[in-house]
Structure 1
Amino acid sequence: MNKLLIFLVLFGLHSASSYAQKKILFVTSSQSFYGNTKISASNHFQEIVVPYDVFTKAGYTVDFVSPKGGAIPIGYINSSDSIQKKYLYDGLFMDRLKHTRKPTEIIADDYATIFYGGGGAAMFGVAENTNIQNLARQIFANNGVVAAICHGTAGLAYLRDETGKSLYGGKRITGFADKFEDKNEEYYKAFPFAIDQAITNNNGKFVHSNKLGDGFYVVDGRFVTGQDPSSASKMSIEIIKLIENKKIGVEQETVKNLDKVFAEWDNAPTKLGVAAGLIKGNQIIYQKGFGSADLTHKNLVNADTKFQIGTMSKQFTAFAILFLEEKGKLSLTDDVHQYIPQLPDFGHKITIKHLLSQSSGLHDFLALKEIAGWRDKDVFTQKDALNLIFQQKKLDYTPGTKFSQTSSGLILLAEIVKQVTGQTLAAFTQEHIFTPLGMNNTLFHDDNELIIPNVAVSYQVTNNGPKNNPINYSIVGTTNLYTSASDLNRWYLNFENPKVGSKKLIEKLTSPVTLDDGKTTFNPTAGRLLYGQQYLHAERGVPKIWTYGLEGGYASNIFIFPNQKVTSFVLGSNNRYNGGLAMNMAIEVLGDIFPEPPTIDFSKIKTFKTSAQKLDSYSGYYWDNERMTGLSMLVKNDTLRYHVLGNTYENLLVPIAENVFQVVIDGDDVMKVKFHKEGNNLKMIYTSGESDEFTYERYTPKTYSPTDLDEFVGTYYCKALNVSYILDKNEKGLFTSNKNQPNISLSPIQLDLFLSSARNLGGIHFIRDKQQKITAFQINSDKIKNLLFEKILN
């Protein structure tokens, strides 16, 4: 095995799997003639393809730039050479030489090396190009490598730092020495300078071998230069060594500290497993697995172990839709009925954008599923989800005028992909997203009977030890994507340098959704909703994009700090929230960038003096009629406190301004309540960070005697869901149940309005006829409005 192959196997392949490779920027010339002569000039083909071959085999991406961009002249081709022949007949490669990029299109931070190729054309238009000079200066300032081969060294002639000093002052540089030129030829007379003299004039130490073709090259610091084409492969290997040694030196300590985040897995191979990944810039800093993927077979988690990522799957559905929009296959303004005629006509146009922005007015199918009596372990298919959606009789609101947190839109988007492409979402994403990105461990699982290899088992942690916690549904669009740490790293690297989709698509994916007015955004307490179904939320004053997925025993979290280009995630089957692990990883590489502390020190908050009488004026019960939630305010030990109805804990409120209080919590989120009067009504406005305002109005609770409750007792039937609920009473009050639901208590709020202890049942409002007899009730929550149950038996 030759030295190059040994290096690539032992070193290059390791680096490609353990770290994200920054790219190599290859500088070529646009010049077709020697100066103003009619003598043809070109870029040296061998000096391009040999380094390209070495870099790409080591896992690097090579981009080509030229002063003018577009097609460049090539020459010095030896088609009997196997490497040159390979690339000469590689259509995709040759197309890249026809479409080189302009210097103004290049972002220097994306590159670990700038490599100046040779050939007679390299003597013209490159060295004096200030944009290329700036790229070299920035790459070098970022600890990158500057390289040049043969006549390509001419490109270094004027390189200086920002202070005007030579970028390579005192360093040894080689190139095609003037002594080897034929000074009597016309081509030479057209040269703007002699390479060795130009390097010397810029305070470099020009050196050379007295023999051509002996592979002579020089490494001095982060400058790698070669004398002629025979040095191409050797100097390319040296460049890779410099990049990798630099990364290893810088990152070894970071990796050790990241390992400490997962110290609880040390010497505990049977502990339920997690896998982690972290990207900084364009580099994968970390990807590892910890613990057990399968307690029965003793399989350990590694970077390729598959985990289900729950609602984190939504971003892939959104990407597929935007990808099809970019290809001209659909428009976000298209009426959904165009693709799904089975969806009832509600008298209003529902667009694809409405589905993406969660402003369609459709009920949430997951809430309907629970209300209809489906159990967690029931087999549940895409058809079942669609049937629940299609049974809706009336929209909750006019599409595009309001937001509601529902998952129905994502189910319909998966169906739209199928109608547009003729492929299921699983098949389409596999062919057009996952395979092109090398995400070989990623798939949408649309068949619950399909056996998935190398997958972490879903477990439920109990007092008696872990139990299997199988997931028996086949829905996609909202969930059911299986992926690995290594694949997610590949996915998020695509956000920085898209291979699938464009920069414009990524920008839209990470931009906020809006209502039809184009201005109003959706800001629940999780943060501002983005088209990628993730949330933008400040972490201690620093913007971050985040989301999570909880499904069965699977628990996944992702935090993206876009300004710092840091992405951190943890996948698990350990039946717990893994956000702390993912955030601790991010903090390790972000360092001390946060303007706010991790925990609010309430002893340092300036408080507003408020009398006991004023505090008493806020006490009472408050109701949010939009989300159907309630809470109470009470004064205890001269402080105002609140507790959410149905819960036992209380939160202390600290006065910070007139009628304004901050909620005391153990964390960095700033939660506030503000009281104000509208006529005779006292209202309370709640916000969390930059969330929308949630309005609660004070009310006097309705009380019912046991006899009063008799008129509510009976059986109620929902035609849309074909399900019945039996309402009855006991010593605690009114309660309900159906065949698969545990008992659900109903607490009176106002006249004929009760709060359910089950979140998805929300508030239950009873309807009376003209004789004041109860004939039905409606379920209202933040996910469903006016779901009707008619009374069929007393």
Structure 2
Amino acid sequence: MFKVISKFRLPLLISTCLCLFSPFVFSQNKILFVVSNQDYYGTSKIKTGNHFGEIIVPYDVFSKSGFTVDFVSPKGGAVPIGYINASDSIHKKFLYNNFLMNKLKTTMKPTEVVAENYSAIFYGGGGAAMYGVAENVIIQNLARQIFLKNGVVSAICHGTAGLAYLKDEAGTSLYKAKKITGFSDKFEDKQAEYYKTFPFSIDQAIKKNEGNFVHSDKIGEGFYVVDGRFVTGQDPSAASKMASEIITLIEKNKLVIQQESIRNLDKVFSEWDNAKAKPGVAAGLLKEGQIVYIKGFGSADINNEIPINTDTKFQIGAMAKQFTAFAILLLEEQGKLSLSDDARKYIPQLPDFGTKINIKHLLSQSSGLQDFLALKEIAGWQEKDVFTQKDALDLIFRQKELDYEPGTKFSQTSSGLILLAEVVKQVTGQTLAEFSQEFIFQPLGMTNTLFCDDNEMIIPNVAISYQVSKNGFKNNLINHSIFGTTNLYTSAADLSRWYLNFDKPKVGSKKLIEKLTSPVTLNDGKTTFNPTSGRLLYGQQYVHAKRGVPKIWTYGLEGGYASNIFIFPNQNVTSFVLGNNNRYNGSLAMNMAIEVLGNVFPQPASIDFSKLKRIKMTPQQLGVYNGFYWDNERMSGRRVFVKNDTLRYQVLGTATESLLVPITDKKFQMVVDGDDVIMVEFRKEGDYFKMIYTSGESDQYAYEYYNPKTYSTTDLNEFSGTYYCRALGASYTLAQNEKGLFTSNKNQSIINFTPIHSDLFLSSARNLGGIRFVRDKQQKITGFYINSDKVKNLLFEKI
């Protein structure tokens, strides 16, 4: 045995890393060293410690190769060091190395270690290694996780004792039939007091766990064994060679894992394997500030057989909003505007509503302005009509009154982003397209990115917008020339450059990026906007948990273009898909992300409702919630009813019904596919119940109980007639059919109206929401107001 010469009691220095292991990018260049807190051999008074040479020799090799070494011990904190040879140059070098000594003074506790951060685990030796390490189940689990994620497990000399109980989750030895070495009993002084305190023999412990323990007949000759991803050494003389072997295995594993992961990622897009001549997608995946996957699938142009590549341009629809928001925050950072500025300072055409709308209100969807896209539909514009920026502004400027005091409420509206494009123009003298090119796209090398403000512009290397029909594929033309909310064309390569800027900003500061990814608030600086999509950020994206892990996301659907982005900030993973395949591509982008995220999700991919804690309720008990419920703020209705002894939930105007599982006698969870937790709670108010709906961490949606109004055919006659909106210059003619009240014209399909209360009807068109009829003193109908979650009190007068 080696004599303990010295012991150091060297304050917790833990490096926090937000990134977790992914099977694609093989963890980090980090090694986890396991050391012991044991001061004495067992319960004796014989001092022991961790072998200094078996720590600093491999530490030196790893450090010179660019690896970071962290230390963990069963109790954390300072550990005893022994077996120091002060005449050895390497010993002397590190004995006075404050950085290393501080690490040994501040080792991590096992509960503080994230296994996914490490490429290998290394058990150091010394007499102390025989105590407290092998039996520590958390350290065992760390080793198991590192190994099962293709990491290396290594141990030297008495450190091999730490492997004594290593098993997989099924209880099978991790190293069954593999060669393992360590300090053999052959070299121990079995009569010495120190040996009598050992909890077990290393040789026998490895054999008992089905390992093949081997050793050399001599010590000091650098004997070590590599078997698979286990690297073990007999004594200190093997330390340097072991470290080199570990590095070789790590680098080899990186290549193997990357190749396997590329194949797995390719499988996400397997539908294009044997069908190249169809619309497709371009995909990008970033981790740790690096592009780890970028590829194109399918055709950009079917007729001319042009394949999609990473430079192919796609329109990204509403995903363009983040660039408008970024431009505004960049101008703020440059001192050219303030978010507290009155919008009319830059847009004098905006009506004076008697109260200030500032830039922040436009960014945070709290301006009180009606949504121009909803107004466009209500006014009768067709999807294929040519629609310009001037047309959009005209609809906004026609508004006579705000829906609410700016900064006191939120509403899902795109009007603010259109106006912000005008703000950029007034502040800089450049259009948003010109400003973005000069100050964002060009500096970032985004040569295939542009805002298109002319629907007739010929854009080179662009994927054609397709529509899938029963007869094949059709061109799906986009005829609008609006920007600020849409009409941004970009490629997978360029979008990767954009998101790399979030990690290491070249354009804009880190502070700007932090603001872009922070939640918007009302005037109080506290209240956030949390629709079912998630919490709205300044960058016009949403934070919403995926199986318990926070993600930032948004999507764009425009013509045949469909784009999705998912960002997992805690894991530093960004996954996106751009397509011309006329469908929502979220599952492709999410499946890519899941492939590299691995097992980071604390919740399952779908809720197992059979295991949900529930209570039993009779049909009679459930029946007290039967009825209709109305949200007057958003003009939406719900029906709740008992069917087959279960409670059901239905959105008015649809045939789909969802099962409600009783968690308590008043709280129910909706049965849905996936991981979304949707809760419905009933609260007694007077003689009736109020229904509260939440999806995940969304704001509460309150529905009041109501008794549906019924009208006879004769009663409905008084609602018939033509109604005109001065603000929009649009009219609707209401009449009756077999279903009741309806309206239609040459620009729109039939819209049906369902009676809710007296003079209040729910429309089958989302943007028309609900219509409330108004009467004069003689109770004659004089018009109606349209109300929805995007438009309030839009008056149509009866002609």
Q: Structure 2 length normalisation: TM-score?
A: 0.71
User: Is the aligned partner of 1:323 residue 2:330?
Assistant: yes
- On the 8 A contact 2:363/2:538 being kept in 1, the answer is yes
User: Is the aligned partner of 1:427 residue 2:434?
Assistant: yes
The SS at the match of 1:333 is: coil
Aligned to 2:456: 449
Q: 1:314 aligns with which of 297, 300, 321?
A: 321
The SS at the match of 1:366 is: helix
- On the 8 A contact 1:631/1:644 being kept in 2, the answer is yes
Shift of 1:791: 0.4
Cα displacement string for residues 505-524 of structure 1 (whole angstroms, at most 9, x for unaligned residues): 11101100000011110000
Separation in structure 2 between the aligned mates of residue 614 and residue 493 of structure 1, nearest angstrom: 56
Shift of 1:141: 2.4
User: Is the aligned partner of 1:141 residue 2:63?
Assistant: no
Alignment of structure 1 residues 495-510 onto 2, 5 Å: 495-510=502-517
Aligned to 1:258: 265
Aligned to 2:143: none
Q: 2:306 aligns with which of 291, 299, 305?
A: 299
Counterparts in 2 of 1:112 and 1:614: CA distance versus 1, 3 Å:
closer
Shift of 1:738: 3.2
Cα displacement string for residues 563-615 of structure 1 (whole angstroms, at most 9, x for unaligned residues): 00000011101011111111100000000111110110000001122232221
Aligned to 1:612: 619
Separation in structure 2 between the aligned mates of residue 112 and residue 417 of structure 1, nearest angstrom: 42
User: Is the aligned partner of 1:716 residue 2:643?
Assistant: no
Counterparts in 2 of 1:709 and 1:107: CA distance versus 1, 3 Å:
closer
Amino acid at match of 1:447: D
Counterparts in 2 of 1:732 and 1:284: CA distance versus 1, 3 Å:
same
Separation in structure 2 between the aligned mates of residue 762 and residue 112 of structure 1, nearest angstrom: 52
Shift of 1:253: 1.7
Amino acid at match of 1:442: T
Separation in structure 1 between the aligned mates of residue 697 and residue 789 of structure 2, nearest angstrom: 19
Separation in structure 2 between the aligned mates of residue 589 and residue 347 of structure 1, nearest angstrom: 53
Aligned to 2:444: 437
Task: Report the number of matched residues.
Answer: 594
Amino acid at match of 1:550: L
Separation in structure 1 between the aligned mates of residue 356 and residue 315 of structure 2, nearest angstrom: 34
Cα displacement string for residues 228-280 of structure 1 (whole angstroms, at most 9, x for unaligned residues): xxxxxxxxxxx9x9999886454222111100111111021112110100001
Amino acid at match of 1:625: N
Counterparts in 2 of 1:139 and 1:508: CA distance versus 1, 3 Å:
farther
User: Is the aligned partner of 1:759 residue 2:766?
Assistant: yes
Alignment of structure 1 residues 6-21 onto 2, 5 Å: none
Separation in structure 1 between the aligned mates of residue 682 and residue 449 of structure 2, nearest angstrom: 50
Percent identity over the alignment is 71
Aligned to 1:465: 472
Counterparts in 2 of 1:718 and 1:221: CA distance versus 1, 3 Å:
farther
Separation in structure 2 between the aligned mates of residue 739 and residue 423 of structure 1, nearest angstrom: 39
- On the 8 A contact 1:108/1:138 being kept in 2, the answer is no
Amino acid at match of 2:265: L
Amino acid at match of 2:771: I
The SS at the match of 1:657 is: coil
Separation in structure 1 between the aligned mates of residue 661 and residue 394 of structure 2, nearest angstrom: 49
Alignment of structure 1 residues 92-107 onto 2, 5 Å: none
Shift of 1:756: 0.5
Shift of 1:221: 11
Shift of 1:681: 3.4
Aligned to 2:642: 635
Alignment of structure 1 residues 411-422 onto 2, 5 Å: 411-422=418-429
User: Is the aligned partner of 1:401 residue 2:408?
Assistant: yes
- On the 8 A contact 1:346/1:393 being kept in 2, the answer is yes
- On the 8 A contact 2:453/2:483 being kept in 1, the answer is yes
Shift of 1:291: 0.4
User: Is the aligned partner of 1:279 residue 2:206?
Assistant: no
User: Is the aligned partner of 1:601 residue 2:608?
Assistant: yes
Counterparts in 2 of 1:245 and 1:375: CA distance versus 1, 3 Å:
farther
- On the 8 A contact 2:18/2:570 being kept in 1, the answer is no
- On the 8 A contact 1:375/1:740 being kept in 2, the answer is yes
Q: 2:678 aligns with which of 662, 671, 680?
A: 671
Cα displacement string for residues 706-746 of structure 1 (whole angstroms, at most 9, x for unaligned residues): 11111111110000000111111112111112331111111
Counterparts in 2 of 1:243 and 1:364: CA distance versus 1, 3 Å:
farther
Q: 1:550 aligns with which of 552, 557, 572?
A: 557
The SS at the match of 2:653 is: coil
Bigger mean CA deviation after superposition, 602-611 or 299-308:
602-611
Aligned to 1:66: none
The SS at the match of 2:67 is: helix
Counterparts in 2 of 1:494 and 1:262: CA distance versus 1, 3 Å:
same
User: Is the aligned partner of 1:790 residue 2:797?
Assistant: yes
Q: 1:539 aligns with which of 541, 546, 560?
A: 546
Shift of 1:679: 1.9
Shift of 1:678: 1.7
Separation in structure 2 between the aligned mates of residue 108 and residue 619 of structure 1, nearest angstrom: 48
Aligned to 1:334: 341
Shift of 1:112: 9.3
Counterparts in 2 of 1:604 and 1:107: CA distance versus 1, 3 Å:
closer
Aligned to 2:377: 370
Over aligned residue pairs, what C-alpha RMSD do you find? 3.0
Q: 1:571 aligns with which of 571, 578, 584?
A: 578
Amino acid at match of 2:302: L
Q: Structure 1 length normalisation: TM-score?
A: 0.71
Cα displacement string for residues 356-400 of structure 1 (whole angstroms, at most 9, x for unaligned residues): 110000000000000111101111111110000000000000000
Separation in structure 2 between the aligned mates of residue 711 and residue 360 of structure 1, nearest angstrom: 37
Separation in structure 1 between the aligned mates of residue 382 and residue 310 of structure 2, nearest angstrom: 33
Amino acid at match of 1:676: R
Aligned to 1:43: none
Amino acid at match of 1:360: S
- On the 8 A contact 1:137/1:160 being kept in 2, the answer is no
Shift of 1:658: 2.5
The SS at the match of 1:466 is: strand
User: Is the aligned partner of 1:645 residue 2:652?
Assistant: yes
Counterparts in 2 of 1:345 and 1:713: CA distance versus 1, 3 Å:
same
Amino acid at match of 1:710: N
Aligned to 1:65: none
Alignment of structure 1 residues 111-260 onto 2, 5 Å: 140-141=67-68, 158=97, 162=103, 248-260=255-267
Separation in structure 2 between the aligned mates of residue 436 and residue 220 of structure 1, nearest angstrom: 47
User: Is the aligned partner of 1:489 residue 2:513?
Assistant: no
Shift of 1:113: 10
- On the 8 A contact 2:29/2:68 being kept in 1, the answer is no
- On the 8 A contact 2:633/2:789 being kept in 1, the answer is yes
The SS at the match of 1:441 is: coil
Separation in structure 2 between the aligned mates of residue 329 and residue 738 of structure 1, nearest angstrom: 47
Amino acid at match of 1:346: F
Q: What runs of 5+ residues in structure 1 fail to find an aligned partner?
A: 1-103, 115-132, 144-154, 170-202, 204-218, 224-238
- On the 8 A contact 1:108/1:139 being kept in 2, the answer is no
Amino acid at match of 2:635: M
Q: 2:396 aligns with which of 361, 370, 389?
A: 389
The SS at the match of 1:742 is: strand
User: Is the aligned partner of 1:410 residue 2:404?
Assistant: no
Separation in structure 2 between the aligned mates of residue 490 and residue 246 of structure 1, nearest angstrom: 28
Amino acid at match of 2:68: A
Q: 1:693 aligns with which of 691, 694, 700?
A: 700
Amino acid at match of 1:600: I
Separation in structure 2 between the aligned mates of residue 719 and residue 221 of structure 1, nearest angstrom: 83
Amino acid at match of 1:623: W
Separation in structure 2 between the aligned mates of residue 392 and residue 594 of structure 1, nearest angstrom: 46
